[in-house]
Structure 1
Amino acid sequence: ASCTKKVESCQVPELHHGNYFTTQRELRVNEALLYKCDEGYHTAGGNTTEEAVCLAHGWSVTPNCSKKTCPTLRGIEHGGFYPVKKIYEEGDVVHFFCEENYSFREFDLIQCYYFGWYPDPPVCEDVRNKCPPPPLPPHAHSNAVRRTYHSGDRVRIQCQSEYEIRGSGEIQCENGKWTSPPICVGSMDKRESETPALEADALIRASKTYHSEEKSRFNYVSSYLVLEIQQNCTSPPVIKNGVLLGPLLPSYKNGNSVEYGCQRYHFLDGPSTVYCEQGNWTERPTCLGPCILNVTDMNSNNIELKWRQEEFIFLHGDLIEFECKQGYKFPHATMPSPGRTQCERGRLKYPKCVFQVPMEKCDSPPSIANGALTLPPLTQYDNGSSVQYSCSDYYFLQGSERIYCSEGQWTSPPLCIEPCTLSKNEMEKNNVLLESFYENQAYFYHGDYVGFYCKQNHFGAESGTTLFQVQCKRGQLVYPRCVERRK
């Protein structure tokens, strides 16, 4: 068994980044200490305010205010991030980057909030394993819905009702390229596709004398031979606020590709690589504009930035945190983060704060038995005001000596617990004497211990011992009983 030293009082520790609701520097056992942390900090239990109780072995929980932090970030494959810190605090922003030939699928910025990181840390993906939009042969449609595809992704291709599919109805993205798509054959094409193989060469030679429309129709498809006209592409399309990274060529062959980037503060949405396919360029990206904070709009909505920013420019997808100006509040206080909004394609929806109606005042504070206010009461108190109580002599104050006016209601007042009064008659009746340490005391506080011992030639009736420690409990002392030793 281990022994714990009992204490009669607790020293109020120094508190950084917070305040106590009392000026006392020492509290008795069972007294409560209420404290509040500054904005951006939390108590030992993770709250804004917390109560610590002085117990016989010390504080129930040591008062402490610490900065809200986020979990340490792990390294990401094929990339990194900055700044690298041991501890990230609320409001910190981390920027991720990828190695060459790798890119992000979504955002490259995350921010530390009171609930953790948002959004989740990104992943670097191999761009060489990304495929352009899937090829679609004439008279066909597919179930393709995504903008970007990766190795292993499959797309199903179907022909229109009057056409018949030839080849696999499913294509797959493999190392940045699609497997060969099927073809859709019409009724005329089907008759031609039934031409015997031995006649194919003769038909090809004969096709040179056909009219142009017959020639193109014949050359389109045969189950034995497909002749494709490899068409080149002209200059790549220009995109607004975008930059063509190259290569710059007079013309581009089928299968060639070019890379796009965006001007500063613009966000590239869509594939950065565009391909030449049979004389046409595949889907091009767009460069989404940034959001520029408008001070006039902020003032009209009674808001200001929560975190200090070097610039008032945010990229598409960036999260921006606002707070209300003094005297205003968010109308939807139940929302987890009513002041947070996101830059969306250069547009910003500002949150709105409304005028905060002054809190209700409180009437005179309640009176307590065997206690009184330290100052004469007023008829009315403003929200946030406080008053202090004290107890009559030898009465024990249980609870907080100070109460607060909160939205028209007072917090709970303390109790004054009566002391124990020493009875000479009870001591004589039970054959006990008061230890010399307590000789001059007639009253004892609730919770105090009183020392007794048996008269000469007497011992404890229940315990057999001669020394006793009895605790005062709400004005009651249970006296030990001593009996005379038999001769």
Structure 2
Amino acid sequence: MSMRCLVIVLLSFPQAFHVLAQSTAESCPAPRLDGGFFVPEQGTYSHGSALAYACNPGWKPAVEGWWATTVCLNGSWSHMPQCIGESSCLPPDVPNAKYTESPPGWYQEGRLIRVKCDQGYQHATWEATATCANGTWSSLPVCQRSKTSCDEPPRMFHAVIVLHKYQQVFEADSEVHFDCEEGYRVQGDDTRKSIFCVAGGWTLAPNCTRTQTVGHDGDMSGSVTKPAGDTIPERGKGRGSPAGGSRITDTGSATTSGRGSGTPQTVPVDNCGVVPRLPNGEVVRKRAMSLKYACNSFYKRVGPEMVVCYQDGTWSKVPTCKEAFCEVDLDQYANYNIRESGTIILKERESRDVACLWRSYTSRIVCTQGRVSVSKCCHYWDHYTQSCN
């Protein structure tokens, strides 16, 4: 048959092309199965064939279910059929954790595995191991999210997070680096390009701002980086500035200070040099004439929110960040019949119920002005009616 005739046949009968392609795929030899049987039993199986199998009494497939199916895929089976003893265990499902893997893919009776929680998670109880007993796992450990872990970092404009792969949960004290978009840089003297997970929240990151060159009069000649959206007024040319002098506000407009008024005159913040550091806080906004500070999660600002630069090169008063949380070690309250263990973090005026030894009974923990109060174990209804003390 000529090639032309073959093409005509294939075009006339599309199913013939499918049969021809299927015939080029390799078939699978019948697999060996100790302690079980196949349906249907054949010597070989064509590509795409499904082979069901089950195990004899006292045995079970090494996959979920009392029967299983494998498929021939171009000379190989999707999984090799295998029967194991009924007292053996299949790999357990432990979310947010890793555990000791078994090379055969299953575990003999009596085998013990150790569970390690993923980053950002912790054991809900003291249980960290499980044992295969009569075909099931005894007391599988549970990994719950840690109270001090963080969600994914907040969105940062004109910046990207530098990570090998995306993740949703970060453990406490994690450091994440970022890079600014081309044409942008971290403003001010703070060139740190990283944020940290602290007590369940991310520290504030420096802003990535567009770099622009702007001119200045007098001794401010040269170029500086101008934060996008801010206006740097020229000296002596503030809007509405009187002949007697002016004090520039945060918005860039000038307000009358008057000579001899005793009010220090403010100048652009770049005149004061290094930006003051704030422990447990960050500069959240830098403008031409002011800095705005904010405290990290679980801290409260004490003092002014805005900081300015005076004409003599000194900074105005910088705020402080005071602790506004309670760190509770549950192990210290074992005599309260609390079942849970470990450490929890509560924000100021936050309360949390923890499980007690008896079902439906909890103890309420409250954080007030840095002090911890723990109630006795009460039924949840007593907490609801506020009759527990």
Q: Tell which structure's C-alpha radius of gyration is larger.
A: 1
- Taking structure 1 as the reference length, what is the TM-score of the superposition? 0.26
- Taking structure 2 as the reference length, what is the TM-score of the superposition? 0.30
